[in-house]
Amino acid sequence: MNYDVIVIGGGAAGLQATLTLARSRQQVALFDNETNRNRVTEESHNFITRDGTSPAKFRAIANEDLSRYPYVTKKAETIATIEETGEFFTVTTEGGSMYTSRRILLATGIQERFSYEPIRNYYGISVFHCPFCDGYELRDKALAIFASDEQAILHLTKLLYNWSTDLAIFTNGVKLDQELIQPILDKNIPIYSDSIKNLHGDSGRLSAVELADGSFASRNGGFVVPEYVRNNTLIEQLRLEVDEQNGITTDGFGRTSHPRVYVAGEMVKNASSSLLVASTEGTMTASMIVFDRANEQFHA
């Protein structure tokens, strides 16, 4: 079947974009291989009417919403290649299935990479990256900050001070510029620059950080500044323009350098965002697709 739009990625941006497209009577195929970044989180917060909802339940509700629209086809497949032939794109999955569409919306998101990989065992349970999303649940607790860049440490520490003043910074072997972090030192917030030997806790609940010198720092949770990585394969296949910060060049409304390829969500800037922001971007980009198709019909 030929679709009006193929949406690649079933996170908040892709799900919301699909809903907007379906309500605009576009035949849309949503490809979702369930690798959404927030799947490791027990609860999602700061989204009105869905505060505290688990990502699994959020997706279940979203898919139930989509099931009411006959314009939506869901595919639990991973896209391998996209080829352009005239006015159509041919999308081929890793399993060899092929689908065609006039337009593509990329919403494949990003993934985290940690400088100290065992953090992943606690990530989404007691260690997080966004204070606005999870700071309230860790209020007044003894918190670890895992980061090694001075500006990132300053930014995150200042923010977290709203939720807890019992903070400790762990740089995992990186020595910091004392002058740059002076505001933190003025607050008597301890900074541990030794390498991390181990993290201790039970079932993802952090209880202590063990350092290379054998010392232990008791912590009841924490926040981390991860590196975000994005699979650029489809971006390269479609020859989309990127900027100096590795963000995809857009017009601010999800339109890319290719007139029939659009992007939404975290993959655009290769940076994290909330469910609410990603959903909003999905709505906006899908609306632009509908506008562009309407204009085409009147200028054919």
204 and 276 within one domain: no
Residues 274 and 266 sit within 8 Å (Cβ to Cβ): no
- Nearest of 271, 290, 152, 283 to residue 223 by alpha carbon: 152
155 and 142 within one domain: yes
Predicted TM-score (pTM) of the model is: 0.94
- pLDDT, mean of residues 101-130: 96
For residue 109, the tally of other CB atoms under 10 A from its CB is 27
Residues 11 and 59 sit within 8 Å (Cβ to Cβ): no
Model pLDDT for residues 189-247, shown as the tens digit of each residue: 999 999 999 999 999 999 999 999 999 999 999 999 999 999 999 999 999 999 999 99
Task: Tell me the residue range of the domain where 152 lies.
Answer: 115-224
The upper half-sphere exposure of residue 70, i.e. CA atoms within 13 Å in the direction of its Cβ, equals 0
Phi and psi torsions of 61, nearest 5° = -65, -45
244 and 211 within one domain: no
Model pLDDT for residues 81-115, shown as the tens digit of each residue: 999 999 999 999 999 999 999 999 999 999 999 99
- pLDDT, mean of residues 247-265: 97
Domain total in the chain: 2
101 and 21 within one domain: yes
Which whole-number Å values give the CA distances from 213 to 100, 142, 222, in the listed order? 59, 21, 21
